[in-house]
Chains A and B, each alone.
Chain A
Amino acid sequence: MKFLAMCSTGLGSSFMVRMNIETIVRELGLADVAVEHSDISSAGPGSADVFFVAKDLQDAAQGLGDVVVLNSIIDMDELRDAVKSAAARHGLL
């Protein structure tokens, strides 16, 4: 199972979201979840199982598959809920 955080350059904010997702994945004790980050133009539907983007990139991320849209990328509570429900959707919880 792979989670992918994305932003426009794949350098700063997606990396931060990735590290936060990794923290949450550890908290929840999810096994076999790889978390990565990238720029949105390199990502395709096969790049990951779940994609995380900020609200402002929602349109650009259409068509990738299971896309999670974050209202605020600095809100850990929102991210925790999003990771939990993504994990539940994919039968990890």
Chain B
Amino acid sequence: MNSVLQKLLDIFREPSVIVGLIALLGLLLQRKSVSDTIKGTTKAFVGFLVLAAGAGVVSGSLTPFGEMFQHAFGVQGVVPNNEAIVGKVLTDYGSQAALIFFFGMVVNVLLARFTRFKFIYMSGHVALYLAAMIAVILIANGFSSWQAVLWGALAQGLVTTLSPALVQPWMRRATNNDTVALGHTGNVGIATSGLVGKLVGDPTKSTEDLKIPKGLGFLRDTTVVIAVSMGVIYLLVTLVAGPGYVEDKLSDGQWYLLWAVMQAGTFSAGVFIILAGVRVVLAEIIPAFKGISEKLVPNARPALDVPIVFTFAPNAVLIGFLSSFVGGLVGMGVLVAVGGTIIIPGIVAHFMTGAASGVIGNATGGRRGAVLGALTNGLLITFLPLLVLPFLGDVGLQNSTFSDADFGVSGLLLGGAVQAGHAAVIGLIVCALAAVLIGSAVTTRRAAGKAEEAPAAAEEGRAAS
């Protein structure tokens, strides 16, 4: 008996197998053919192993970077990049993260079904990253695997249901449409940008009236952007560290500047592999989630990835990215001045969340809203990751970390609670759940009361956001 249990435990400790099983369940629920089911299950299983292989490549270039940064500046340097950190986390905490991700989707569907927060979080990649962060925070601070999966899945479901609701009032303005929502881990920063725009800006002076030269299309090619931006960062740090140290300790005699370029390229290659793995894994899981959620919650808004807003204000995309990046540089300057760990602006995060902040800031506050809103986002995604680092245990020492604002806020809440004790985490999650259920019931009743007086006011879900 014991040996059977041991074998079962072995299976559950292998994240690639869990991911394969989740895909298998999804494919069976979609009633796919036998050949599609076998194909999909195998691809998800192999996809996870691809991801894990990419994690090794990224670590191979990040570890010497960390040593070199430490040598050059005497402090830790951290490049926030979701793919880089998640690869490492998923090789260590993959089983728990995969289960939190899976049961988090279940909680999301249930909350959308039974509350007024009718948002289905379709951005599987960032949801997977969020699950990875939750798994680390809970397990690094003493939760057992099964407790981590239980409470982590509830936390995951709450964040993925509530985060789109935060941005929805501004989304309606930006898209003139109330049928889709924004599902991204940058939502706190993006919503803050909308608020800043509303407070300081003038929506009639739109970014889209400006004439801005095009030609930054290369920014949309992730591989190029990461290789080039990391190349600049590696070269700068290598120059400060000096040829003596680098060629002696790190590059095994290779010319130090060539070594720096090779490391930057290797980092980008690792992210490329991780992205390929994530893509394969999600391709087998998300369609089932979409199909099931559409059946169970027919009037839900799908919460989709940030590029859905990019076409509404192309100028704001560029202005938002640049403003957010400036915010990141200013934030880094402040960190250099005060000493301690330095957060180096991660270009992908500033592009994705900064651009969306620009579009939303422009919708609520025009040019000034786009600039100041995205700048605020840039500051948030510099300081929030720093505050979350202490809760990540060994993962906090990996020279990379989770980049977006939602990771910061949910990480701070969970991390703060977990330091106060396990009961505090459970209390926080139960209270949040109760608040959502009661708040939803009260607003539904109020809306129903109003509906009797004025039927037009009853539109389902409006009060939710």
Tell whether A39 pairs with B222 under 8 Å between CB atoms, given A12-B123, A15-B286, A19-B287. yes
The smallest beta-carbon distance between B212 and chain A, in angstroms, is 13
| Interface of chain B residues 385 through 400 with chain A (CB within 8 A) | none
* Closest A residue, CB atoms, query B83: A9
A residues in contact with B220, CB < 8 Å: 8, 40, 56-57, 60
The smallest beta-carbon distance between A29 and chain B, in angstroms, is 18
B177 within 8 A of A: yes
B60 within 8 A of A: no
| Interface of chain A residues 19 through 62 with chain B (CB within 8 A) | 19, 37-42, 54-57, 59-60
- Select the residue from B184, B224, B310, B314 with max chain A CB neighbours within 10 A: B310
The smallest beta-carbon distance between A91 and chain B, in angstroms, is 27
A64 within 8 A of B: no
The smallest beta-carbon distance between B366 and chain A, in angstroms, is 20
B25 within 8 A of A: no
* Closest A residue, CB atoms, query B223: A41
A74 to B182, CA, bound (A): 11
The smallest beta-carbon distance between A15 and chain B, in angstroms, is 7
The smallest beta-carbon distance between B86 and chain A, in angstroms, is 12
Tell whether A13 pairs with B311 under 8 Å between CB atoms, given A38-B279, A60-B220, A74-B180. no
A44 to B126, CA, bound (A): 26
A84 to B307, CA, bound (A): 24
A7 within 8 A of B: yes
A72 to B177, CA, bound (A): 12
* Closest A residue, CB atoms, query B175: A74
Asked if A41 and B221 make an inter-chain contact with CB atoms under 8 angstroms apart, the answer reads yes
A9 to B272, CA, bound (A): 9
A54 to B307, CA, bound (A): 9
Asked if B223 and A74 make an inter-chain contact with CB atoms under 8 angstroms apart, the answer reads no
| Interface of chain B residues 80 through 133 with chain A (CB within 8 A) | 122-126
A11 within 8 A of B: yes
Asked if A11 and B305 make an inter-chain contact with CB atoms under 8 angstroms apart, the answer reads yes
Asked if B307 and A8 make an inter-chain contact with CB atoms under 8 angstroms apart, the answer reads yes
Asked if A8 and B221 make an inter-chain contact with CB atoms under 8 angstroms apart, the answer reads yes
Which of B175, B179, B223, B305 has a CB less than 8 Å from the CB of A16? B305
Asked if A15 and B222 make an inter-chain contact with CB atoms under 8 angstroms apart, the answer reads no
Asked if B275 and A39 make an inter-chain contact with CB atoms under 8 angstroms apart, the answer reads yes
Which of B125, B179, B221, B290 has a CB less than 8 Å from the CB of A11? B125
| Interface of chain B residues 223 through 250 with chain A (CB within 8 A) | 223-224
DSSP class of A's interface residues: helix, strand, loop or mixed? mixed
Which of A37, A38, A60 has a CB less than 8 Å from the CB of B221? A60
A40 to B218, CA, bound (A): 11
B217 within 8 A of A: yes
A70 to B122, CA, bound (A): 20
The smallest beta-carbon distance between B314 and chain A, in angstroms, is 6
Asked if A13 and B279 make an inter-chain contact with CB atoms under 8 angstroms apart, the answer reads no
A73 within 8 A of B: yes
The smallest beta-carbon distance between B179 and chain A, in angstroms, is 8
Asked if A56 and B314 make an inter-chain contact with CB atoms under 8 angstroms apart, the answer reads yes
Contact mask for chain B residues 273-295; partner A; CB cutoff 8 A; 1 contact, 0 none: 00110110011001100100000
The smallest beta-carbon distance between A51 and chain B, in angstroms, is 14
Contact mask for chain B residues 174-193; partner A; CB cutoff 8 A; 1 contact, 0 none: 01010110011000000000
A85 within 8 A of B: no
The smallest beta-carbon distance between B401 and chain A, in angstroms, is 19
* Closest A residue, CB atoms, query B286: A15
Asked if B221 and A13 make an inter-chain contact with CB atoms under 8 angstroms apart, the answer reads no
Asked if B308 and A74 make an inter-chain contact with CB atoms under 8 angstroms apart, the answer reads yes
A72 to B312, CA, bound (A): 8
A86 to B218, CA, bound (A): 27
B214 within 8 A of A: yes
Asked if A73 and B221 make an inter-chain contact with CB atoms under 8 angstroms apart, the answer reads no
B residues in contact with A55, CB < 8 Å: 311, 314
Asked if B222 and A8 make an inter-chain contact with CB atoms under 8 angstroms apart, the answer reads yes
* Closest B residue, CB atoms, query A57: B220
Which of B125, B180, B222, B287 has a CB less than 8 Å from the CB of A12? B125
Asked if B217 and A9 make an inter-chain contact with CB atoms under 8 angstroms apart, the answer reads no
Contacts A11-B282, A39-B222 given; 19 further ones with Cβ under 8 A?
A7-B305, A7-B307, A12-B124, A12-B184, A12-B307, A13-B304, A13-B308, A15-B283, A41-B223, A41-B224, A42-B276, A55-B311, A57-B220, A71-B311, A73-B308, A73-B311, A74-B175, A74-B179, A74-B308
Binding site for A on B (CB under 8 A): 122-126, 175, 177, 179-180, 183-184, 214, 217-218, 220-224, 275-276, 278-279, 282-283, 286-287, 290, 302, 304-308, 310-312, 314, 317
> Can you pick out 13 interface pairs between chain A and chain B where the beta carbons lie within 8 Å of each other?
A8-B221, A9-B222, A10-B275, A10-B279, A11-B279, A12-B124, A12-B305, A13-B307, A16-B304, A19-B287, A39-B279, A60-B220, A74-B180
